Amino acid sequence: MMAVGIDLQHVGEFAAAAHLREPGGCFTEEELAHGARAAAGAAASLAGIFAAKEALFKALPDRPPCFWEDVQVGHDERGRPCLRFGGTLAPWVAQRCIRAATSISHSGDYAVAMALVERAA
């Protein structure tokens, strides 16, 4: 079975919501560090990461209760985003043989992300 989620974030609105970027909130330390290094700026980068997490949560509506930091958006050697699971999600995902992928794009004042989830039958 496959599921898709999508989310769109306005970078300006996200930049104004500083509480979302506080440590221990929506992002892991690695995500915050990635945002700080991003050429497009921290707000745009973190808006894309936030959108990827939202898209994933939309594709997994039956997931157990979890925290934002239970999903980490990392980047491979080419800079492509990838999803990593921790906390309460890690064993749940492993037990169900779930694979997930994401794509993030930025255009002007917007960041958009899509998540594709594949579950074992």
pLDDT, one tens digit per residue, over 43-52 is 999 999 999 9
Domains of the chain: 2-118 (3.90.470.20)
Residues of the chain scoring pLDDT < 70? 121
Q: Are 70 and 13 in contact (CB under 8 A)?
A: no
β partners of residue 3 = 117
Distance CA 4, CA 20 (A): 24
Please give the pLDDT value at position 121: 65
Its pTM stands at: 0.93
Please give the pLDDT value at position 111: 97
**Helix or strand run (H / E) with residue 48:** helix 42-59
> For the chain, how many residues are written?
121
Read out DSSP for 52-84?
Answer: HHHHHHHH-TTPPS--GGGEEEEE-TTS-EEEE
